[in-house]
Structure 1
Amino acid sequence: MIVTITMNPSIDISYPLETFQLDTVNRLSNVSKTAGGKGLNVTRVLKQLGHEVTASGLLGGYIGEGIKAELAAAGIDQRFAPIAGNTRNCIAILHEGNQTEILESGPVISAEEAEGFLQQLDDLIKQADVLTISGSLPQGLPKDFYVEIIKRCNQANKPAVLDCSGEALKQVLENPYKPYLIKPNREELSDLIGQPMENQASIKAALATELFAGIEWVVVSLGAHGAIAKHHDTFYQVTIPKISVVNPVGSGDSTIAGFAAAIAEKATDEELLKKGNTLGMLNAQEQTTGAVNLANYQKLSQQIQLTKF
């Protein structure tokens, strides 16, 4: 079983408008509302792959109940810890080729609620083959909360796949408890190192620093240019084919789903890198976030090139 952790989920609301008029009424009929959060995108893709998956994290209020209902309707097993606050909304206004986002920070989590989640997590870790941890931390949780989660995974000898950025990621890298795989993009890696990542050589040098010691897999996403990956002391350049992109949102989450599935399947390096990157591309070809058309999987996977360097 794969357990996905989303500490700060949301209902993602999309308002498509031909034109956005400021300081007046904007009316529309085509509204999209979906259970959101990076970890829930991972969950949906794993479900489509046929993996046994359980969604976990924090949910509260009527919005939380709506997310539970949507996941239940999709046949997704869920073990969220309850909170008193109302789970957040995140709004995207699509207008004139632009996307304006209004993101709520979400509820403030109490120490008791955090402890309740960790106690529930201990039971899930025992059942899990792999755990994924995705997205931002809600207010109230300490900046090193992911360190505590990874510590518990390490102690149970269960691999954790981490997809976060900023201070939460720095806290993990500076602590002795290590995730099995992380997936920063080029910009996030630059922020961590404090200098631009301009080419293959600079990325390789960055990944070879002590900051990433003890992490089995580091995969640096390069968008349309593929990825550079480090597994132990072996480096890979991942070159992906050019595709027609419909909606890139959630492609990174789909990639994480592929990596988690490959780890659970005890896949080879080639299989892991191809599965993750293929699913990322498949998501980008769909309008719906966290959706893939597996009929196109083999065709795309065969076009991915891996080169050791």
Structure 2
Amino acid sequence: MILAVTMNPSVDISYPVDRFKFDDVNRVETVRKTAGGKGLNVARVISQMEDEVLATGVLGGTIGDYIVQELNESNIPNDFLRIEKESRNCIAILHEGMQTEILESGPTLSKEEGTAFLEKFECLLTTASLVTISGSLPKGLPTHFYRKMVEISCNKEKPVIVDSSGEELKQVLKHEKKPFAIKPNIAELSQLLGFEAEAGNIDMKQTLNHEIFKGIEWIVVSMGDKGAFVRHGDDYYQVTIPKIDVINPVGSGDATVAGLAVALNRNQTVESVLKTAMTTGMLNAMEAVTGFVNIRKLKKYYDCVKVKKID
């Protein structure tokens, strides 16, 4: 079973309007509300791939109730730490080909609530075979919180995929207990290292040889329509993807993590792991709904992904 963690989930609300009027009334006829957060997108895609998954994290209030209801209706098993504080809404206003977002920061967790989640997390690990940790931390938790989660997982010999950024990711990588895999994009890689990461093969090999990455089995650097550059152990791979009609790229990174998790959990070959991860990312971008892949198209696009080992 894959344990998918979302520490700061939300209800994502989409308001499509023909023309957004400032300082005036904007009426919306069609509203879409979904259980949101990077880890929930991961859990949703894993479920669509028919792998066993359990979504966890921290939820509260009526918004938290709605998220659980949405997950239950989608037949996604879940077990969250419930708190009294209200979880957050994230609003996207779609207007004139643009997207204006209003993102609530979410609840501020106490030290005691953080400790309670770590205890719950350790219990849930007993039935997990692999863990994904996605997104940002809620306010109140220290930046080394993910590092603690990785340490707990490593002590129980459970591989962890971390998809985060900034100081939270840096804290994870600086610790002696390492995640099994990370999935930064070029911008997150540059932010992490403090210099502009270049996309060329030679430059990327040098970049991923940085001391901070020592001990990490898989580093998958997502590069949008250019595919990915990957370090697996001491080997390097360039992964290229076919041209696709992109409808909604939001959540494609999460879908990539889901494909990566499923393939690793199934002990697939290196080539199959990379092709599966890239394919699920593509399939998400081809759909209007975030965190959705059409599994019937998987083989078609899987066969179009090319994996080349770089000497």
Q: Give the TM-score taking structure 1 as reference length.
A: 0.99
Aligned to 1:87: 87
Report 1:75-224 matches (<5 A). 75-198=75-198, 199-224=200-225
Deviation, structure 1 residue 82: 1.1
Give a deviation string over 1:27-75, Cα, whole Å, max 9, x none.
0111111000000000111111111110000000000000011111111
In the alignment, residue 123 of structure 2 is paired with which amino acid? D
SS, match of residue 133 in structure 1: strand
User: 1:236 aligned to 2:233?
Assistant: no
Structure 1: gaps spanning 5 or more residues = none
Identity %, equivalent residues: 52
* Contact 1:82–1:113 (8 Å) recurs in 2: no
* Contact 2:5–2:57 (8 Å) recurs in 1: yes
Equivalents in 1 of 2:71, 2:188: separation in Å?
A: 31
* Contact 1:12–1:90 (8 Å) recurs in 2: yes
SS, match of residue 15 in structure 1: strand
Structure 2: gaps spanning 5 or more residues = none
Equivalents in 2 of 1:262, 1:232: separation in Å?
A: 17
Answer with 191-200 or 162-171: which moved more.
191-200
Aligned to 1:301: 302
Give a deviation string over 1:89-144, Cα, whole Å, max 9, x none.
00111111111111111000011111111111111111100010000000000110
User: 1:10 aligned to 2:10?
Assistant: yes
Deviation, structure 1 residue 194: 2.0
* Contact 2:14–2:91 (8 Å) recurs in 1: yes
In the alignment, residue 271 of structure 1 is paired with which amino acid? S
* Contact 2:165–2:192 (8 Å) recurs in 1: no
Deviation, structure 1 residue 193: 1.9
Equivalents in 2 of 1:83, 1:178: separation in Å?
A: 30
Q: Give the TM-score taking structure 2 as reference length.
A: 0.98
Aligned to 1:41: 41
Give a deviation string over 1:128-163, Cα, whole Å, max 9, x none.
000100000000001100000000000000000100
In the alignment, residue 73 of structure 2 is paired with which amino acid? A
Give a deviation string over 1:232-285, Cα, whole Å, max 9, x none.
000000010000001111111011001111111011111110000000000111
* Contact 2:179–2:216 (8 Å) recurs in 1: yes
